[in-house]
Amino acid sequence: MDVPAIATQALTRRFGDFVAVQDVNLSVSPGQFFGFLGPNGAGKSTTIKMLTGLLAASSGCIQLLGLDLAKNPVEVKRQIGVVPEGMALFGRLTGAEYLNFVGRMYGLNRETAGKRTAELLEFMQLAEQPKTLVTDYSHGMQKKLALAAAVIHGPRILFLDEPFEGVDAIASGTLKAMLQRMIARGATIFLTSHVLEIVERLCSHLAIIHKGRLVAQGSLEELRAGVEAQAAAAMAGTSPAVSAPGEKLTLEEIFLRIVGGTRHADQELSWLG
């Protein structure tokens, strides 16, 4: 059996008395496009930060490609690419200088870093403004540059925190095509997004975190089957039908079912008119 690309055991993070992530046991196989979902404040970003070394875990263990992140940080980081929440850009470099810099930080030689920089800028349609500083890029351009930087060294695992936020439809299509090509070549992608339609279209496997705890994990079909089984068991009660016969539950419906995201009439803000 393959060593999981990403595996965590009892991963926990506390901020003082507040437990942001508690006993999370994740397992992501190599080559999976893995979606990590959860409502706001559920612990998604905290988890991804711990997985990428941006945040220390309070307890628990993280293994990436079979290596312990705490014990072998340099070896692990060499094989992963990250687009973190803040994008990790250096505003006063040009796009080309930034990609060159990142490439060399990941151990590429000058020639390889230069060649890949040129290709990535072209691919991301960022090559037309070579003198523009990153700080003067639009949000979407910065996002594309951050993604280019995350893949310049050919990572085996790619962590993406809200990669499509602020990216236009054309660029979004380009990025999705690139990510799917990476998957086809055996890379693993770990993605968080609030846009469930994108996750549903791209990801083969999912995990849902709610209030710091992992509440579901598996393929989309497995999650759907789980929700439908739960609903069937509750049919005798007052629970409404999950879906019309013959219709599949969407990811949004599955997500709402799992995290209990239903609204009650008494929660409406009556003063809003």
Partner 1 sequence: MAGLSFSPYMRGQFAAIARVRWQLFVNGLRTIRGRLEVVARGFMFLAFGVVGLGGSFALGALGWYFVSHGKVEWIAILLWPVFLFWQLFPVMASALTENVDSSNLLRFPLSFPSYFLIRLVYGALDPSTALGCLWLFGLAIGIGVSQPGLFLWAALVLFAFAIFNILLARMIFVWVERWLAQRRTREILGAVFFIFIICFQFIGPLVSRIGRHRHPEVSRITTQVLPYERAIPPGLAAEAIARAMHGAFTPALAAFALECAYALAILWLLNLRLRAQYHGENLSEAVARSNLRKEKRAIRLGWNVSGVPGPVAAILEKEFHYLSRSGPMLFTFVMPVVILLVFRLGPQASMRQSNFLAHAPDLAFPVGSAYALLILTNLVYNCFGADAVGMQLFYVSPVSFREILLGKNLAHALVLACEVVLVWIAVGFMFHPPAVEITFATVMGVAFALLLNLSAGNLLSIYTPKKIDYGAFGKQRASTTTVFASLGIQAVVFGLAAVTLLIARAFGEIWIATVIFLILAGLASIVYILVLNRADRIALDRRDAILAELCRG
Q: Which residues bind partner 1 (CB under 8 A)?
A: 52-56, 73-78, 80, 82, 84, 86-93, 96-97, 100-111, 113-115, 117-118, 121, 127-133, 135-136, 138, 149
**Strand boundaries in the chain, DSSP class E:** 6-15, 18-24, 27-28, 33-37, 59-64, 67-68, 80-83, 157-161, 188-192, 205-210, 213-219
User: Helices in 155-249 by DSSP H: which ranges?
Assistant: 169-184, 196-202, 220-233
Provide, rounded to whole angstroms, the least separation between the CB of residue 272 and partner 1. Answer: 17
* Alpha carbon distance 269, 109 (integer Å): 59
Q: How far is CA 179 from the centre of its chain?
A: 12
Provide, rounded to whole angstroms, the least separation between the CB of residue 217 and partner 1. Answer: 24
Which residue number, 78 or 213, has a Cβ lying nearer to partner 1?
78
* Alpha carbon distance 101, 106 (integer Å): 9
- Residue 88: phi and psi, rounded to 5, are 55, 40
Which residue number, 88 or 215, has a Cβ lying nearer to partner 1?
88
Task: From residue 208, give the alpha-carbon distance in Å to each of 18, 42, 270.
Answer: 20, 9, 32
Provide, rounded to whole angstroms, the least separation between the CB of residue 228 and partner 1. Answer: 39
* Alpha carbon distance 188, 182 (integer Å): 8
Which residue number, 75 or 197, has a Cβ lying nearer to partner 1?
75
Please state at what angle helix 220-233 crosses helix 251-259, rounded to 10 degrees.
50
Query: Measured between alpha carbons, how far apart are the two ends of the chain, in Å?
Result: 59
Which residue number, 56 or 272, has a Cβ lying nearer to partner 1?
56
Provide, rounded to whole angstroms, the least separation between the CB of residue 55 and partner 1. Answer: 6
Which residue number, 87 or 258, has a Cβ lying nearer to partner 1?
87
Provide, rounded to whole angstroms, the least separation between the CB of residue 114 and partner 1. Answer: 4
Provide, rounded to whole angstroms, the least separation between the CB of residue 190 and partner 1. Answer: 13
Which residue number, 81 or 216, has a Cβ lying nearer to partner 1?
81
Provide, rounded to whole angstroms, the least separation between the CB of residue 3 and partner 1. Answer: 20
In the numeric block, which tokens belong to residue 263? 């609204």
Which residue number, 79 or 250, has a Cβ lying nearer to partner 1?
79
R_g (Cα) of the chain, nearest Å: 20
